[in-house]
Amino acid sequence: MDKIRVRGGNRLKGEIPISGAKNSALKLMAASILTSDPVMLTNMPRLADIGAMADLLMQFGVNLNIRRGQALGQTDTMRLHAEKIDSALAPYDLVRKMRASFQVLGPLLARHGEAKISLPGGCAIGARPVDFHIQGLEALGAKIHLEDGYVVATVNGGLKGTTFTVPRASVGATENVMTAAVLAKGRTVLKNAAREPETADLGAFLNAMGAKITGLGTGEIVIDGVDSLHGTEYAVMPDRIETGTYAIATALAGGEVELVGARVDSNNALYRLLRNVGTEVTETNRGVAIHRNGIRPIGADVATDVFPAFPTDLQAQFMALMAVADGVSHIKETVFENRFMHVPELARMGANIKVHGDTATVTGVERLRGAQVMATDLRASVSLVLAGLVADGDTVVNRVYHLDRGFERLEEKFQGVGAEVERISA
Ligand code: UD1
């Protein structure tokens, strides 16, 4: 299995092109089956998770082609054509690799009237049930039961608009219900809906296909059902988690990096925090520039929460920064339980972190040292690469497949700004 080796000590300088957002692209792909017309998705990231979703959709009978961008910064374009749905079965082997596979449930129900989807796997970050998804689709009139680890869903006489309050503003549940409701009869009101930019991107894509959705980006999304949707061409929004990861990397290693294509408004909580700890964040006409001189970052407290608060998907990366900050910081994780698996790995590199319940107390140390570490989930693994940038000696991150799920050309992007990050192929 491939490994990533990081040699610490270099400051970063230059520019990094930001890819399309994984967490939007996957949902747009799933939603493309709502129409029998072809759909073109541009600015697609090249990731293992995108390949997993493509495999799943092809299993349903979707015709799918990719035009690859060659150089770094040239993105992929994907054409998806679900002229007809041959099968609505999402088998365990495909779904277990990636939880986002479950997002095909809403579109399949709306277009095909039935679906049989394995209960999902994905990152091992807490229990991550799908009860809210099921409650929301049942509220639209779907009949759902569990059978041998599968969710079996059917619709008799079509889905009907409803008012549904999403418990805990779940991203996945909001999106599954929204993608089903676009073809339901009448109006659906989603209260306490997810306000995440990727959810709004999915809604904008659906509107481009002829859906009638308002209130995107707010806690109340209103969907007026239409009879059918049509094909469209749509550019996936830039990845705010990839952007935030490279922003934190620059704050950690020091230097000056422009994140080309980044959207400022989707990362305000992070930028406020980075400024507080001593980093300059400036909007440029191509994206965002991050700058930190030689002064050590200052410790700061943060709690993750739903958008627009600080995202859980940047918690591990921010902890790597706080591990070398001047002072004590408290990092509270409110979205997922058990999302501190990076803590023992950072500790192997010399970080001083204590976890009590949902809060990690990080006492910054002056130096980290390189070590062999193990990636446990997507965001945790990249935090170890980040820590490696400022560690003495070499850090070797094992189980790199987690990184390949969510970070496009990670080593090339880091090399482009002068970091020594390389892949060791097994
Ligand atoms: C999505 C993102 C993930 C991000 C997360 C929170 C994708 C592919 N993934 O995940 O990167 O970390 O949003 O921003 O877009 N919950 C339930 N029952 C449910 C659904 C959720 O209890 O039916 C709980 C979860 O266990 C979790 C919380 O609600 O504690 C939020 O989860 P949710 O917003 O649904 O996250 P995902 O859509 O899985």
- Residue 125 binned pLDDT confidence (cut-offs 50, 70, 90): very low
Nearest Cα residue to 243 out of 215, 262, 224: 262
382: part of which helix (H) or strand (E)? helix 378-389
Same domain, 15 and 39: no
Own/partner contacts of 61-68, CB < 8 Å, gap of 24 or more, are 61/85, 61/86, 61/87, 62/32, 62/33
- Residue 128 binned pLDDT confidence (cut-offs 50, 70, 90): low
Question: Is the CB of 126 within 6 Å of ligand 1?
Answer: yes
Same domain, 318 and 171: no
Same domain, 8 and 113: no
In three-state secondary structure terms, 352 is: strand
Same domain, 320 and 376: yes
Q: Across residues 144-156, what is the average pLDDT?
A: 92
Same domain, 211 and 83: yes
- How many domains does the chain divide into? 2
Q: Choose the final residue of a domain: 232, 250, 271.
A: 232
Burial status of residue 30 (CB atoms within 10 A of its CB: 0-12, 13-18, 19 or more)? buried
Residue whose token pair is 């980290």: 368
Least confident of 75-89, 221-235, 367-381: 367-381
Q: Choose the final residue of a domain: 186, 208, 232.
A: 232
**Cα 139 to ligand 1 centroid, rounded to whole Å:** 20
Same domain, 263 and 208: no
Cα-based angle 154, 158, 160 (whole degrees, multiple of 5): 110
**Cα 11 to ligand 1 centroid, rounded to whole Å:** 35
CB distance 290 to 247 below 8 Å: yes
Q: Choose the final residue of a domain: 232, 248, 269.
A: 232
Same domain, 137 and 172: yes
Give dist(CA 302, CA 271) in Å, integer: 12
- Residue 313 binned pLDDT confidence (cut-offs 50, 70, 90): very high
Question: Is the CB of 376 within 6 Å of ligand 1?
Answer: no
Question: Is the CB of 132 within 6 Å of ligand 1?
Answer: yes
Query: Is 318 among the catalytic positions?
Result: no
Tens-digit pLDDT profile for residues 66-120: 999 888 888 999 999 999 999 999 999 888 888 899 999 999 999 999 999 998 7
Same domain, 193 and 339: no
In three-state secondary structure terms, 392 is: strand
Residue 124 has a pLDDT of 53
Same domain, 315 and 378: yes
Structural domain including 323 reads 3-19+238-424
Give dist(CA 331, CA 340) in Å, integer: 10
Residue 338 has a pLDDT of 78
**Over 60: is that where the pLDDT of 123 sits?**
no
In the structure encoding, which two tokens stand for residue 167, read together? 């418990």
Closest-CA residue, ligand 1 atom 4, reads 313
Nearest Cα residue to 238 out of 213, 263, 271: 263
Average pLDDT in the chain: 94
Same domain, 276 and 401: yes
Residue 364 has a pLDDT of 98
Q: Across residues 245-271, what is the average pLDDT?
A: 97
Closest-CA residue, ligand 1 atom 37, reads 172
Q: What is the pTM of this model?
A: 0.97
Query: What CATH number did the domain enclosing 226 receive?
Result: 3.65.10.10
